[in-house]
């Protein structure tokens, strides 16, 4: 993310009501997030890895992919993960009007709520890009915009490379981190499996985005394993 995009993100976060835009949590714990799925091969393997590691996470799904793989949305919800909205088609942000964006948000939200029976208020814009007009429209839709403060860039990694393992080894998490992965690529599975075997302390600190945001908002207690201010790696 460029310097100017980072500056704009920080400025908007400061000006808007608290939790209108979230790029990291203020409470203990960290959130692993997965974009662009569900994928018929990678997402089931990722769900298995998360279950084995005892991690609950957050999936930002593309509506048209969710409509093709409804059983995966049901499983994501059944396994205790958050499901967020990542538009219907993941169209190029600069070619999508505010009206088109809101139409896609509504269509995806209706799909998620119909399949899971749960309210969907978390939204992540494709590429993290929003105009002021789109931002205000999303606020009218009562969407909490979820960005991130760590981007693995796993979508750029060659299949079969050790790049994701190198990233996981170097990652030094801090409380409130929101980490971006993609479950339409195979690397997220490798990352979770690495955390499970090599950094179990990190797994114990993982929360969904809703848990991360709500614990910092309300001051409510969270599991003992995620208390503290620093998440140390092994």
DSSP annotation string for 34-79: EES---TTHHHHHHHHHHHHT---EEEE-HHHHHH-HHHHHHHHHT
pLDDT(67) > 70 = yes
**Does an H or E element contain 146, and which?**
strand 144-146
In a domain, 90, yes or no: yes
As a whole number, mean pLDDT of residues 106-122 equals 97
Write down the pLDDT at residue 14. Answer: 56
In a domain, 59, yes or no: yes
| Domain count for the chain | 1
Distance CA 65, CA 88 (A): 8
Annotated catalytic residues are: 35, 182
CATH number, domain of 97, equals 3.20.20.370
In a domain, 231, yes or no: no
In a domain, 232, yes or no: no
In a domain, 233, yes or no: no
Which residues pair with residue 89 across a beta bridge?
none
Question: Residues 223, 73: contact at Cβ < 8 Å?
Answer: no
- What confidence tier does 234 reach under pLDDT thresholds 50, 70, 90? very low
pLDDT(200) > 50 = yes
As a whole number, mean pLDDT of residues 159-184 equals 96
Write down the pLDDT at residue 12. Answer: 58
* Residue 78: CB atoms within 10 Å: 10
Distances, alpha carbon 18 to alpha carbons 144, 145, 150, 214, in Å: 10, 11, 20, 11
Cβ contacts of 91 within 8 Å, gap of 6 or more: 100, 104, 126
pLDDT tens profile 146-163: 999 999 999 999 998 899
pLDDT(2) > 70 = no
pLDDT(218) > 90 = no
pLDDT(195) > 50 = yes
Write down the pLDDT at residue 223. Answer: 37
Distance CA 214, CA 136 (A): 22
- What confidence tier does 219 reach under pLDDT thresholds 50, 70, 90? very low
Of all residues in the chain, the percent with pLDDT exceeding 70 is: 83
- Structural domain including 47 reads 3-226
In a domain, 29, yes or no: yes
């Amino acid at each position: 993310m460029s310097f100017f995009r980072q500056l704009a993100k920080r400025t908007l976060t400061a000006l808007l009501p608290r939790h209108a835009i979230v790029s990291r949590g203020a409470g203990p714990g960290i959130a692993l997030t997965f974009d662009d799925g569900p994928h018929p091969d990678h997402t089931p393997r990722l769900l298995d890895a998360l279950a084995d590691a005892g991690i609950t996470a957050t999936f930002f799904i593309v509506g048209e992919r969710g409509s093709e793989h409804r059983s995966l949305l049901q499983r994501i919800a059944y396994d205790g993960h958050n499901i967020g909205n990542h538009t219907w088609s993941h169209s190029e942000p600069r070619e999508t009007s505010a009206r088109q964006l809101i139409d896609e948000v509504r269509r995806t939200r209706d799909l998620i709520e119909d399949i899971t029976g749960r309210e969907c208020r978390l939204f992540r814009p494709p590429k993290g890009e929003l105009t002021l007009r789109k931002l205000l429209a999303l606020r009218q839709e009562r969407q909490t915009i979820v960005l991130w403060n760590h981007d693995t860039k796993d979508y750029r990694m060659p299949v079969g490379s050790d790049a994701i393992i190198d990233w996981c080894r170097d990652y030094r998490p801090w409380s409130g981190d929101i980490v971006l992965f993609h479950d339409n690529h195979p690397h997220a599975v490798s990352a979770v499996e690495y955390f499970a075997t090599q950094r179990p302390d990190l797994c114990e600190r993982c929360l969904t985005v809703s848990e991360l945001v709500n614990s910092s908002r309300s001051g409510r207690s969270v599991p003992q394993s995620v208390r503290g201010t620093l998440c140390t790696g092994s």
